[in-house]
């Protein structure tokens, strides 16, 4: 499984997207992340593992706390992936338009 494949699957889950968006606002430890979410702390840990494996977040130990933050490189990789298809899609649209004219 390539990395951006994992990334799309990771952001496909609503709860995980909320975690991701909260981390986008500010880096946070797991307990604080779990507060305000409707799921348990272990669930958050599991989601963080998936996000980390997808290259979307990184973590840093600080005493007993573990601070998670977004990894911009993961986000950029997804952006680049989408860019490829955006370009292709635009080209296809252009071809279709030209074919239409030839009719």
Partner DNA sequence: TCTAATGGTAAGTAGTAACTTACCGTTAGT
Partner DNA sequence: ACTAACGGTAAGTTACTACTTACCATTAGA
- What is the binding site for a copy of itself (CB under 8 A)? 1, 5, 8-14, 17, 20-21, 24-27, 69-72, 75-76, 78-79, 82-86, 88-90, 92-93, 96
Closest by alpha carbon to 81, among 15, 6, 13, 21? 6
Return the residue matching tokens 């494949």.
5
Chain contacts with DNA (rule: CB under 7 A): 12-13, 15-16, 29-32, 38-50, 59, 61, 63-66
Reported in sequence order, the residue ranges of 43-98 that DSSP labels E, i.e. its strands, are: 57-62, 65-70
Which one-letter DSSP state was computed for residue 54?
T
Minimum Å distance from CB 13 to a copy of itself?
Answer: 8
Q: Output 39 or 96, the one with its CB closest to a copy of itself.
A: 96
């Amino acid at each position: 499984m390539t990395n951006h494949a994992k990334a799309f699957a990771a952001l496909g889950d609503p709860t995980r997207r909320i975690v991701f968006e909260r981390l986008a606002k500010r880096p946070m430890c797991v307990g604080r992340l779990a507060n305000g979410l409707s799921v348990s702390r272990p669930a958050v840990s599991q989601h963080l593992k998936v996000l980390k494996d997808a290259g979307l977040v990184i973590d840093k130990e600080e005493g007993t706390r573990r601070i998670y933050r977004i990894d911009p490189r993961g986000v950029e990789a997804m952006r680049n992936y989408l860019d490829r298809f955006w370009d292709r899609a635009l080209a296809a649209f252009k071809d279709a338009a030209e074919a239409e004219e030839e009719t």
